[in-house]
Each structure stands twice: as structure tokens, then as C-alpha cells.
Structure 1
Amino acid sequence: MGIYTEEHEMFRKALRKMLDKEAYPYFEQWEKERDIPRDFWLKLGENGFLCPMVSEEYGGLALDFGYSAILTEELERVGAGLASGISLHSDIVTPYVEAYGTAAQKEKWLPKSVTGEYISAIAMTEPGAGSDLAGIQTTAKKDGDFYILNGEKTFITNGIHADYVVVVCKTDPQAIPAYKGVSLLIVESGTPGFKRGKKLDKIGMHSADTGELIFEDVRVPAENLLGEENRGFYYLMEKLQQERLIVALETQIEAECCLKLTVDYVKERKAFGSRIADFQNTQFKLAEMATEIDLGRTYVDSLIAKHITGQDIVKEVSMAKWWISEMAKRVVADCLQLHGGYGYMEEYEIARRYRDIPVAAIYAGTTEIMKGIIAKQIIK
């Protein structure tokens, strides 16, 4: 496809070198400890790998989305738990601040986001509202120079460690339709009334920080409103294209990693006097998986190229997100089967990948939501 230049590949090479030294040797330990140390974030920042798209004025490198895609790819190769929080901070949350923030907000939040001193989160999902963002119950009532924020959020990536959170809330609960009353507020860690709930115990992505957030009469300065009041839903819709493209790319990498692990395994493992790789059923399975993975790679690369040039590809990104996440689930199930009993053992990497992949068909919009978006675009 040729979307990556020589400069892109230099960035990838430097990032891989750093991950070989600072991530791969420790990742299994981080999975056991269910935490990515803040030191690692700081090392990424020191080496210029965080928030590559942020403008130079705020400490970034003003690079195109191709660099963000490379960051996501290489972190995902280490493990989904590593990519999840860092990609979200780097290429999902900070773009909201840069796109809709005031000069003062950008000056306050972006430089330390680039260095890794600040970790960010975005709080959309609630115990009673997931894909239906217009159905959120968290409210922010204006009170002089403050908003009084009340509500609960759950399944929040980086929720436990975040230094600041972009909170999706209702500033006009009476708005009809409901989405016209949604706003975005930046809430700082340590603000009275802002509490962390429990760190959530997930099936997979064990090293990823996912938590509950509780807001009880939190006085948020009005200057922390991101963009205009009651325009939050529109901002979310504008930025979800990039978020879903990142998830499609993450699951594409997962599928590629699973196939590589499995090819290596079946070439070594023997049964009935032959390598498992020599059985026709194995060869057919490998051929099927490799074909689907190549189709996914070609498509997601074409979308990265279009996204870099600023094209509106909401329909196509929705297609990639649902198809590749479902494809990765099929691939990892077949890969685990080809590993036999060893695939079910935690010491084999395929077991971790098997646990990590399924949630990609749920977060950032479920497969069903993606199909609905695609259908609306087709009919329109």
C-alpha cells in the first residue's frame, strides 16, 4: 500500500528498539501485577513516542496519523493490555483537547500528556448506558463559575491512574432530542467529590487499567468546559472515526500475531509421526486465516491512508471495526484449536491473546452498532 515513508519506518525502528528493551522483558510481569508502571509512560514520553500528532507549540511533534498507527501496532504486538491505555491517551483523548480546547486548556494539559507526566481518560460509559451515549445520566449543573457534576462511569480505560478525565455529561437534561444536551468537562484528579471506584477484574487485558469513576457534587471550574456547552455529542461523533480505526488496527495486529504464533507451533509440534503443519486440515485452516488477515490488512491500510488525508470514512471505518474484530475472534479460536491442549495453558502466548481479543467487538461501539451505522450510511 505504501502508506509509510522512510521517516515513518525510522520511527517504527526506534520504537521497536525501545520496546525490546523496556516492554517485552517485563510484560508478563505487568500482566500478573495488572498494572503498567508510570515509569514506562515516562520513558515513552522521553523518547518522543507519546501523542505524536500534538502540535510543536505544546511539546508534540506535529506528525501525521501514520505515526500514531505505528505506535498502536507496535504496542499491540507486545500485548493488548499495553496498547489499550496508551493508544487511548495518545490518540483518542488528547485529540479532543487539541481540537476543542482553549489555548489555556491546551497549555495546561497537552505538554505533560506528551511527556507522560499526565495520563488521560475519557468517561463515556455508565452502568446503565453503553452504546447509547444519549442515554447517559451524569449531569453537570451550572452554578456561577462552576459546574456541579454528579454521576457514575464504568469500564473506563486509564480510570484508576488518570490525572485528568474528559467526562461526557448532560448540561441540559431536558433537551429534545437528548443528545443536544451533552457536554464535555475536564475533571482533574484530586478534585473534591471525584472518587475512583474499584479497579475492574476483566477476563483479559489484565495489565490495562480499567476502573469505575464516581462524581458526587464535584465542583468543576466552568473554564474546564471543552468546546461549547451542549455540543459534546457532535464532538464525540467527529472523533469516533479515529477511535474505531485504532480498534480495527489493534485487532488486525492481534490476528497477525496469532497466526505467526500458530505457524511456528505447528511446524515444531508432531502428532502421529508427522508435523501438525503437514496435515491437510492444518494447511486449509492456515490458508483460510492468512487470506482473511491479508484482506483485513489491505483494507485497514487503505483507511489509514484516507484518514491521514482527512477524508470522511465513517462508514468504512465502521465496516473495518466490526469485520476485523470478528475476524480476529475467529482466527484466535482456530489458532488455539491448532495448539491443542497447550493452547489452553497460560504459559503459551496464544492463551492470553484468546482472552484479550473478544472485547474489541464490544468497546468503541459494538458490532451491532457498527452494522447500524453502515446501514444508515448506505440508505442515506
Structure 2
Amino acid sequence: MAASAVVRRGVSGWARRRLLAGVLQLRRGCAGLAVDDTVNGLSEEQQQLRRTIGKFCQEHLAPKAQEIDQQNEFKEMREFWKKLGDLGVLGITAPAEYGGSAMGYLDHVLVMEEISRASAAVGLSYGAHSNLCINQLVRNGNEAQKEKYLPKLISGEHIGALAMSEANAGSDVVSMKLRADRKGDYFVLNGSKFWITNGPDADVLIVYAKTDPNAVPASQGITAFIVEKTMPGFSTAQKLDKLGMRGSNTCELIFEDCEVPAENVLGHLSKGVYVLMSGLDLERLVLSGGPLGLMQAVIDHAVPYLHVRKAFGQKIGSFQLMQGKMADMYTRLMACRQYVYNVARACDQGHFNSKDCAGVILFSAECATQVALDGIQCLGGNGYINDYPMGRFLRDAKLYEIGAGTSEVRRIIIGRSFNAAFK
């Protein structure tokens, strides 16, 4: 934070010096503490991937994270997206023939983690683009669709999104009301989608709609479509003013007689639920890298602070209760890492498990919220003012207990998987 900004707020000279000293120390913490990836079981290539993306994000993104949050806008998003494209991480799981890097889900998680470590909001937008949009196209698109849409999404020239949720169809997503009626060589879409990450910015969107409203069960009447923002009848409403993840733009999508070519059906007609559900498992896995990055960011900022701030004549990190906070934050993060990384490895080997994909986001999200609360406590009064990033970490972490299926829904998925074994 600039000194002039503090002066404008009317802070006294003594308090200003103290505040600036703390903020500068915290910025030094932003460089990041070392991560022991030998313990994490990463290969040398994966460790190098973390170092490369981490260094890039700490240099080009982390210094802007507070401003992005405060302004609820990432003005340089398209330029940053092209840089991510140059690094090869937008299409990290896409085949090389479309410009992708042909890497695995563990690699995807690591990139998600390091971007989120610098800015959770930008990390969320990255996840929506690289996994929800690009990976869905890779897994379910036909050759013509892949050739048409993947190259520009992978290069960063285009921004992608996915639209499932509606105002009255969040966790119960198959109750969606968006209609798609066949008219010759087109489907005409009418209705809306809500809470759509990247919605205001997206050039290409994967949209789910009801093509057979009378289907029983209702899930059998859903179809996935590839929608372009320039298609007549498509528009976006004003972006939402969110508690956290500010700068990751979210909005309502409006479809008013929006004509989508039949050739833009993704997968099979009225079989979109299979695209949706398989995509949700991988969405939960990849997005679980977000809470990992947030927890690491909390530790990056809290631990240096504890070794500079003094009370009662000694650094507060020497107090046993603060040592306990450091231990709790660290062990929560490391336990989450092992779970997330192992599930990602299993997916890379072709073993996909809905129970554990729900489990990793459930566990890591709730741990991230607790770690953020502990980080605020470590900073005391400074943790409660917005000149420091701890409040942002907490607000951002809470999203992961809600998006991609709430914590309650994740518990239902896990519980039902056990029940199914006893039928």
C-alpha cells in the first residue's frame, strides 16, 4: 500500500510508520516459503513446474492481488491470460495437436495451487477456463469442435466458462429450467444461468439446457452446448458483487431466443448429464488446488509476521500458543496436499472416483477456512484490517465450501457411495 494512501486516510505519523513497516514485512512474506516437494512425492519435473509457475505468479500476479480484490476487477486479465497461454498451462491437459501440453491432473492441480497462492480470485477464473471449459471440450468434443475452439482457448486469445447453475438450480443442478428447443439446424435457448464464473468475460461457454423437459428421470433430458458470446440472443447481466473471489468476474447469463447450431451440441443429445457428472468430479479435483494455494498463502504471510512482531519483549512466534497455530496450519495444509495429490495421481492412472473427488474439495475447503481464521488470529489486530490480506484469504476460502457443490452435497456424495456398497 502506498504511503500517500495511508496519509489520505488520516493515520497518525507514528501509526503510519508502524502500519507501513508491517505491510512491507508482509510483502516480503509474499515471496513465499519453501515447499518440501520431496515429502509431497513430486517428480523433478513437477517440482520444476511448481517453481516456474510460482515464480511467474509471485512476480506478475501477487503484487496486484490486493488491488484486484479492492476494485473487484482484474483489468489486465486478457494480457495475463495470453502469458498463461505462452507458459502452456491453459491447455495443460489438452493434446499437443491443439496446442496443449498433454500433461496430467496432478500437474493441473499444481498450477491451480500456485496461481491461487498469488491470487485466489484469478486462480478460480483459471480453473473455470482450463478445467470446466477446455477439459470438457477435450473429453467430450468431436474433432471439428476441438479444431475450432481449442487453439484460441489454449493460447489465451479467448476466455472460457461453463454454465450449469441457475438461480433455483444450484446443487440440484438437474432441476435447471433453461430450455433448448430444436428448430431445424438450430436449437433455440431461452432462460438464464446464474453465478457463472468468467461469465462477463467469456468468449466461449459450455452451457447445459433442457432439451427434453418431460424426460424421466429429469437428468436424461439435459444437453450440453458450445455457445459463443457473439451468438444473437445471448447477453450477460451486470456482474455480481461478491463477498470474496473479487476480480473473478461472475454474472447471470441471459438467453432470449438464442440460436445455437445443432453442430454445437457437446456429446450426445439429451445425454449431457454424463458430460456434466464426469466433469464435476474433475472440477472438484482440480479446484481443490485453490484451497491448497490459499493455505500456503496464509502461511507465507503469517509465519514471517510471527518472527518480526514483538510482544512482552520477544517475537510472538516464540510463544507456545503461536507455535501451536503454526503447527496446526502447516499440518492441515500438508494433510490436504497428500490427499489431493494422491487422488490426482489416481486420475492420471485412469482411476476416477466420485467419492474421493468430492472428498478432496470437502476436506481442503474446510481446512482452508480454518487456516485463514488462524492466520487472522496470528496477526491479531492487523489481521482484521484490510491493509493486510488475511481477511481476503478468509473471504476467498469460504467460496470453496459453496461452489462446485456445497460441503453438504459433498458429504451426501460420500455417504451415498458407502450406502451403495450395502445394497
TM-score under structure 1 length normalisation: 0.96
Q: Distance in 1 between matches of 2:65 and 2:375?
A: 22
Kindly indicate whether the alpha-carbon contact (under 8 Å) linking 2:118 and 2:297 is maintained by their aligned counterparts in 1. Answer: no
Q: Distance in 2 between matches of 1:51 and 1:340?
A: 41
| Higher mean displacement: 214-223 or 261-270 | 261-270
Letter in 1 for 2:294: E
1:270-309 equivalent positions in 2, closer than 5 A: 270-309=310-349
1:30-179 equivalent positions in 2, closer than 5 A: 30-36=68-74, 37=76, 38-179=78-219
1:323 paired with 2:366, answer no
Kindly indicate whether the alpha-carbon contact (under 8 Å) linking 2:105 and 2:286 is maintained by their aligned counterparts in 1. Answer: no
| Higher mean displacement: 115-124 or 87-96 | 87-96
- Residues 343 and 162 (structure 1), Cα distance of their counterparts in 2 relative to 1, 3 Å cut: same
Kindly indicate whether the alpha-carbon contact (under 8 Å) linking 2:106 and 2:341 is maintained by their aligned counterparts in 1. Answer: no
Q: Distance in 2 between matches of 1:83 and 1:52?
A: 14
Identity of aligned residues (%): 37
Letter in 2 for 1:276: I
**SS in structure 2 opposite 1:202?**
coil
Deviation, structure 1 residue 360 = 0.3
| Higher mean displacement: 263-272 or 359-368 | 263-272
Letter in 2 for 1:19: C
Deviation, structure 1 residue 15 = 2.5
**SS in structure 1 opposite 2:136?**
helix
Kindly indicate whether the alpha-carbon contact (under 8 Å) linking 1:147 and 1:222 is maintained by their aligned counterparts in 2. Answer: yes
**SS in structure 2 opposite 1:198?**
coil
Match in the other structure for 1:29: 67
Kindly indicate whether the alpha-carbon contact (under 8 Å) linking 2:237 and 2:251 is maintained by their aligned counterparts in 1. Answer: yes
- Residues 23 and 257 (structure 1), Cα distance of their counterparts in 2 relative to 1, 3 Å cut: closer
Kindly indicate whether the alpha-carbon contact (under 8 Å) linking 1:194 and 1:218 is maintained by their aligned counterparts in 2. Answer: yes
Match in the other structure for 2:275: 235
Kindly indicate whether the alpha-carbon contact (under 8 Å) linking 1:52 and 1:60 is maintained by their aligned counterparts in 2. Answer: yes
1:179-225 deviation digits (Å, cap 9, x = unpaired): 11011011111111101101111111111111111001101111111
Please, which runs of 5 or more residues in structure 1 have no aligned partner? none
Deviating above 6 A after TM superposition, structure 1's stretches of 4 or more consecutive aligned residues are none
1:265 paired with 2:265, answer no
**SS in structure 2 opposite 1:319?**
helix
Q: Distance in 2 between matches of 1:285 and 1:171?
A: 52
Corresponding pairs, count:
380
Q: Distance in 1 between matches of 2:296 and 2:83?
A: 27
Bigger Cα Rg: 2
Q: Distance in 1 between matches of 2:59 and 2:325?
A: 34
Match in the other structure for 1:18: 56
Kindly indicate whether the alpha-carbon contact (under 8 Å) linking 1:151 and 1:215 is maintained by their aligned counterparts in 2. Answer: yes
1:239-276 deviation digits (Å, cap 9, x = unpaired): 21211112222112212221332222122112233322
- Structure 1 residue aligned with 2:350, among 310, 325, 329? 310
Match in the other structure for 1:340: 380
- Residues 95 and 300 (structure 1), Cα distance of their counterparts in 2 relative to 1, 3 Å cut: same
Kindly indicate whether the alpha-carbon contact (under 8 Å) linking 1:3 and 1:305 is maintained by their aligned counterparts in 2. Answer: no
Letter in 2 for 1:280: Q
**SS in structure 1 opposite 2:238?**
strand
Deviation, structure 1 residue 19 = 2.5
Q: Distance in 1 between matches of 2:105 and 2:395?
A: 28
Match in the other structure for 2:402: 362
Please, which runs of 5 or more residues in structure 2 have no aligned partner? 1-38
**SS in structure 1 opposite 2:255?**
strand
| Higher mean displacement: 149-158 or 234-243 | 234-243
Q: Distance in 2 between matches of 1:68 and 1:40?
A: 18
Q: Distance in 2 between matches of 1:180 and 1:153?
A: 19
Letter in 2 for 1:104: A
Q: Distance in 2 between matches of 1:270 and 1:347?
A: 19
Q: Distance in 2 between matches of 1:197 and 1:30?
A: 21
